[in-house]
Structure 1
Amino acid sequence: MSSVSGQATYGHHVNGAYDYIEKQRTRRQSNRVLHAHPSPLFWLERDVPIKEVMVERRMANAAIPKRLNVYIGTPYCLPTNPERCGYCLFPSEVYQGQTQLDSYLKYLESEGRRYQHFLEDEQLAGIYFGGGTSNLYRPDDYHRLMRIVRDVFPTIPPGIEITLEGIPQLFTREKLAAMKAAGINRISMGVQQLDDEMIKLSGRKQKARHAFQTLQWCEELGLRSSVDLIFGWPQQTTELMLKDLEAIVGTGIGHITHYELNVAGRTDFARHRRDELPSTEQNLEMYRVSKQFLESRGYRQVTAYDWEKTTPGLSGEYRFEENMRQAFARDADHGIVGYDMWGWGFAGVTYFPGTPEMPGWIYMNSTKAGEYFGRLDESRFPTERGFHYTHKDLGIATLFQMLQSMSVDVALYNELFRVNLLEEYADIWQALVEKGWAEVDRNKVTLVGDGVFYTPLIQGLLAYERTEEMRKEKSPAPSVQEVAFLLASQPPTGTVIRQERDTEEARLSVEVGSRSEGVVSDLRPPIRRQRESTTLTWYRELTSDRVELSLLRVCGDVWHDSPVVLSHGTFSNAQTCKRLATYLAENGFDCWVLELRGHGRSEVGPTHPDFERFSELDVPAALGAVRHNTQNKPLFWVGHSGGGLVLLMHLARHPEALMRVKGIVTLASQATDAGMTWSGWAKIALSAVGNNLLGYAPGPLFKLGPENEFRGVMNQWFRWNWNGRWTGHDGFDYLDGLGQVTVPALCVAGGGDRFIAPYEGCRRLYNALGGQDKQMMFCAKSEGYGEDYSHARIMTSRRAQREIWPIISEWLAKRAN
């Protein structure tokens, strides 16, 4: 039965992947090959805690060493008619004169000073001066620019790539010589079109001779160079495209970025020239023809849009682009390593991915020059908004980056994220293979044929379910103005961030604008239960030390005698337990969710909490409050992580309280074994340093939960797991005390919870319990579950709702009446 059902479901998923591909295949696609997940539309954190981010980054980099790329933006672009070159939505402001640049450099220097003590010891991998338009400066300004950089990074490794991006008509030989003298060794030129009539549509005062003259000067001065060209331009034909390629290849250029025009938003091309644009099918044909041409001329494709000359001494020299496709990579000498990016200046995007165990951040600076200046004037970091990765989101972002290089290192991905990538997306891989878009073996997924052109579509397909989840969770929705700025933001992890590239706005046209056209349904729709009516009521209860606690009552039709108290763990509040409480209430239980002191709506009290204040003061108050409101009936306690520990600690010291408790369910609760490996010890040591350095453990920052956690709470947990002993401040041994806890118990551990609550620690707690009616449940694929459950997913995921919650409900029901 299960085999047949599984095959049917799998077939449904493959068909869903096909449906998505067919719906999106002929739509204009975003140049998402330049982007990581998630879309900037979901960067909703307005108050990015930069100092904590930098502390977190240092701890994460101790586990996986990272070198740093630096992107330095310039706000200004020449005025054009139509504005913004007709198609660009990236943040920029109109250049009006040199005084703007002089003022901006002062603020750039100010931001550098704010970061200096965090970054001065960094190993730099590359520097990129991007746009706006970075060749607007006067020749002597480039020495000043590099001095500002050296003030933050006193030691710049010799030979690293230092690139400056600009437009052809603003380069002069004098400027290029000044750039080289300052230390810049590569020029990236946004040509876009060599045909003088085609480029007129953008409003630029640019001629083909400007581009060729600049390339000649670069060769004379010994500066490496690269160019951007766009295909899919209004009125462009395949013949015109090939004419441009033939001309640029004739210069001997080492690197060409040949990318598809994106059309979206309120640009001139989107509003007034749509009928002049080649269709997606015509763009695909242009891609095929250009690929064949460039390969015939000795160029090697390194991304969907990037081509490098295979001449010895040139291939692979364009390091900034390659580094930005490698948040994680395998190094023969150092194991797993990677690259971060700091976005410095106006609209700069910073990408500090962290590690799978300690996911990091992506955030952007102000996208209005006045706001950028204002924040620095107020001695603030000039950030506008950001996103803190979850484990899942970092996995998708890493997959995006790997796909940018047209292949995925399956073994590296599996090692990093402890999943089977081929199984995780088996339906999608099968659909891509059958379409001839990918080749798959046990070590690598490789995009082939038209699959390379459709890289953005494939990335969107892989992220579709998570994107839909995030869209439903997103609140508040950004304003139209905010959306425009987000869409215009530079790509955080792409080949190069250029002022001409309008990538994310096209994604919005697929993800938002296409809603009216109909979006393919979720490829893996969740199983939803019919909900009975439940009511939610908040109660307040005083502890013996006069601290007011909050309890949320969730109930409907009650047909089980024993109420259920649910308690969250560290970094959490009632929201962690609310969905499970609602599920149990729908199955006849009177549920109460306790918020421990200092969490959610509960008061902190006169003294900062630790676990023993939770267990000695909060637990008895909660037991008394619930019994008082439910006719003194014995109750069940369901605790996640530390929420399970606090009741057990209370019962171990106060066995007389056992008469109030009908049974206990612990989910991922343990106190001794997180540090039983070198990896565990290292994580505990690093986390303890950060905890005591900041004075608290930042939950939202580390994506551990919605709340920061008190230093005393975490220091106890660190000490227990470091020493392998669960003891009180007075030396009381809680594991020994559990021998007196004889009530029924269900202990649940997750196969993917390898650090916070590994199976060994949960099992040790289970073995110490003194009752006869006890059960250990290991939720892992090896035991027939759908996944190896992580610390959070064992409590809150949809799959847990299907696989674990019914078992808990049934276990409680058998012992309730």
Structure 2
Amino acid sequence: MQSSSNLFPVALISAERRGDLSEDVYRLKPGNSPDGSVELAVTRLGLADVPENRGIPVILLHGSFSNRRFWYSPKGIGLGAYLARRGFDVWIAEMRGHGLSKRNQAYARNRVADYARYDLPAIGAFVREQSAQIPHWIGHSLGGTTLAAALGGQYLGAPAVASVALFGCQVSRTYWPLKIPPVEWGGRFILKRMAEVSGARFKRGPEDEPVGVLIENMRWHGLFGRFGDAERDWWKGLADVDVPLLAVSAAGDHQDPDWACRKLFEQVGTEHRQYVCLGRKHGFTEDFGHVEMLVSKAAQAEVWPLVEQWLKDPITPLLGAPAQALAAV
């Protein structure tokens, strides 16, 4: 089968019409990481009746224990579907072993470091090739963390990135037991005996997560941990980021609280940055939660239009307030 890309092997595995939307699913095999078995599924959404009229490209990254359905439900509801109907060229990536992405041979050892260093650059290059434009990126939770790692590690950045939006994303929340070395060592020992953690069993979501991601997270929050890998300090690298940034927290989010999301936002050195907290105190109708900030009736009415506004113009302040005022709220 002829590849759909000149970059690396890519197969179009399905092309369907879903109501008013077109849904094309590609399977990428970049071959750029130590595990050559990695294959990544990327779904492209657009308007079915205007397939050649592609707008601004935007890449959506799901969080932990999740998949593409966070952005696009079988009934055609979600931020991804909303943006496609508004004329954007929407690309929804699924991380290794999630959704339509097959489990790679070293699945249990998958880490954010692998996603950031190998997978996101390959996805970005493919989208740029297909759309002939520079894409915007949106990440929720672990998807946002992966974006932050890619930016801080200088695996992604200008001029290949138009803007980045991080929803419910932080790396500063302290888990005090992990500061006690025997507790951290014991946790690692238990996790290393497993291949994955079940999202369904622990009621975290529809997907499993490889233990490598959890062990990596424990290391970040250990006694001498830092946001980075053995080669690079991603936290320090964020100070050199030079792409427009939107960071969004939710007042009712207890998993990734507002103060921690704000701390990550403040570390990013770009000149053009904005911060929004979704809560009653800041003019919204409710204190949004971790998932509800993007998946809820209220999000459809209040958050999705803000995302559209941001993507069309990442420089002009949202909500009619100066960017620095938003950052200081």
C-alpha contact (below 8 Å) 2:46/2:54 kept by paired residues: no
The AA in structure 1 aligned to 2:136 is: F
Q: CA deviation at 1:687?
A: 8.0
Name the CA shift for 1:722/1:752 in 2 (closer, same or farther; >3 Å): farther
Query: How many Å apart are 1:717 and its aligned residue?
Result: 1.7
| 1:492-531 paired onto structure 2 within 5 Å | none
- Using the alignment, how far apart are the partners of 1:587 and 1:733 within structure 2? 38
**Residues 577-612 of structure 1, C-alpha deviations (whole Å, 9 max, x = no match):** 222110111111000000011111112223221111
Q: Tell me the equivalent position of 1:645.
A: 145
The C-alpha deviation readout for 1:416-470, integer Å capped at 9, x for no partner, is xxxxxxxxxxxxxxxxxxxxxxxxxxxxxxxxxxxxxxxxxxxxxxxxxxxxxxx
- Show CA shifts across 1:717-738 (max 9, x none): 2332345854333152211101
- Superposed CA deviations along residues 276-318 of structure 1, whole A, max 9, x for unmatched, are xxxxxxxxxxxxxxxxxxxxxxxxxxxxxxxxxxxxxxxxxxx
- For 1:674 and 1:802, locate their aligned partners in 2 and report how far apart those are by CA, in whole Å: 33
> Out of 26, 41, 46, which is 1:555 matched to?
46
What does the per-residue CA deviation read over 1:356-377, in whole Å, with 9 as the maximum and x for residues that have no partner?
xxxxxxxxxxxxxxxxxxxxxx
1:536 corresponds to which of 11, 16, 23: 23
The amino acid of 2:64's aligned partner reads T
1:814 aligned residue (288, 296, 313): 313
Q: State whether residues 674 and 761 of structure 1, in contact with CA within 8 Å, keep that contact through their aligned partners in structure 2.
A: no
Q: Which residue of 2 aligns with 1:622?
A: 123
Output one character per residue of 1:621-661: Cα deviation in whole Å (capped at 9) or x when no partner: 10011111111x11100101111122221222226742110
Structure 2, unaligned stretches of length 5 or more? 1-17, 73-77, 316-329
SS at match of 1:700: coil
Match of 1:606 among 105, 126, 129: 105
Q: 1:725 to 1:813 in 2, by over 3 A?
A: farther
Taking the aligned partners of 1:750 and 1:651, their CA distance within structure 2 comes to 23
Is the 2:116–2:155 Cα contact (8 Å) retained in structure 1?
Answer: no
Match of 1:162 in 2: none
What amino acid is aligned across from residue 542 of structure 1 in structure 2?
K
Residue correspondence of structure 1 range 416-815 to structure 2 within 5 A: 533-543=20-30, 544-545=32-33, 546=36, 547-556=38-47, 561-578=55-72, 579-608=78-107, 609-631=110-132, 633-654=133-154, 657-675=157-175, 691=191, 694-723=194-223, 725-730=225-230, 732-754=232-254, 756-815=255-314
Letter in 2 for 1:628: E
Distance 1:584 1:674 in 2: 35
The alpha carbon displacement at 1:796 in A equals: 1.4
Alignment of 1:73-472 (within 5 A): none
Q: Which SS does the other structure have where 1:699 is aligned?
A: coil
Contact kept? 2:152, 2:238, Cα under 8 Å:
yes
Distance 1:694 1:540, change over 3 A: closer
What SS is found at the alignment partner of 1:739?
helix
Taking the aligned partners of 1:787 and 1:687, their CA distance within structure 2 comes to 37
Deviation of 1:695 (Å): 4.2
Taking structure 1 as reference, are residues 560 and 784 closer, same or farther at Cα in structure 2, changes over 3 Å only?
farther
**Structure 1: segments with no counterpart, 5+ residues:** 1-530
| Structure holding more helix per residue | 1
Contact 1:744 1:772 in 2 (8 A): yes
Instruction: Tell whether the 8 Å contact from 2:280 to 2:287 is kept in structure 1 after alignment.
Output: yes
User: Residues of 2 paired with 1:572 and 1:713: CA distance?
Assistant: 14
Distance 1:785 1:723 in 2: 38
Change over 3 Å in CA distance of 1:792–1:674 after alignment to 2: farther
Deviation at 1:534, TM superposition (A): 1.8
Deviations 1:171-200 (A, max 9, x none): xxxxxxxxxxxxxxxxxxxxxxxxxxxxxx
Q: Equivalents in 2 of 1:726, 1:639: separation in Å?
A: 21
- For 1:796, the aligned partner's letter is V
1:153-187 deviations in Å (ceiling 9; x for gaps): xxxxxxxxxxxxxxxxxxxxxxxxxxxxxxxxxxx
Change (3 A) 1:654 1:680: closer
How has the CA–CA distance of structure 1 residues 799 and 678 changed in structure 2, closer, same or farther, with 3 Å as cutoff?
Answer: farther
Change (3 A) 1:542 1:655: closer
Q: Is the 8 A contact 1:674 1:758 kept in 2?
A: no
1:620 maps to amino acid? P
Aligned amino acid, residue 148 of structure 2: L
Question: Which deviations, in whole Å up to 9, do the C-alpha atoms of 1:662-709 show, x marking residues without a partner?
Answer: 00011101122152x78999xx97987874565422211122110111
2:206 is aligned with what amino acid?
P
Tell me what 1:461 maps to.
none
Give, in angstroms, the shift of residue 711 of structure 1: 0.5
Change (3 A) 1:707 1:550: same
Provide the aligned C-alpha RMSD in A. Answer: 2.9
Check conservation: 2:45, 2:90, Cα contact below 8 A. Answer: yes
Q: 1:728 to 1:809 in 2, by over 3 A?
A: same
SS of corresponding position for 2:158: helix
Against the structure 1 CA distance between its residues 642 and 678, is the aligned structure 2 distance closer, same or farther, given a 3 Å change threshold?
same
Distance in 2 (CA, whole Å) between partners of 1:610 and 1:723 is: 20
The answer as to whether partners of 1:560 and 1:813 remain within 8 angstroms in 2 is no
Instruction: Give CA deviations for 1:337-387 in whole Å, capped at 9, x if unaligned.
Output: xxxxxxxxxxxxxxxxxxxxxxxxxxxxxxxxxxxxxxxxxxxxxxxxxxx
Cα gap change, 1:718 to 1:655, in 2 (>3 Å): closer
Q: Matches of 2:172 and 2:220 in 1, distance apart?
A: 6
Report the residue type matching 1:539 in the other structure.
Y
Shift of 1:790: 1.8
Find the aligned partners of 2:212 and 2:25 in 1 and give their Cα distance. Answer: 28
Percent identity for Structure 1 against Structure 2? 30
Q: Look up the match of 1:85.
A: none
Separation (CA, whole Å) in 2 of partners of 1:731 and 1:645: 18
Give the drift of 1:713. Answer: 0.4
Size of the aligned set, in residue pairs, is 281
Q: SS in structure 1 opposite 2:259?
A: helix
Is the CA contact (8 Å cut-off) linking 1:553 and 1:590 kept in structure 2?
yes
**Could you say if the C-alpha distance between residues 689 and 807 of structure 1 is closer, same or farther in structure 2, counting changes exceeding 3 Å?**
farther
Q: Which amino acid aligns with 1:594?
A: A
C-alpha contact (below 8 Å) 2:40/2:101 kept by paired residues: yes
The answer (yes or no) to whether the contact 2:241–2:270 under 8 Å persists in 1 is yes
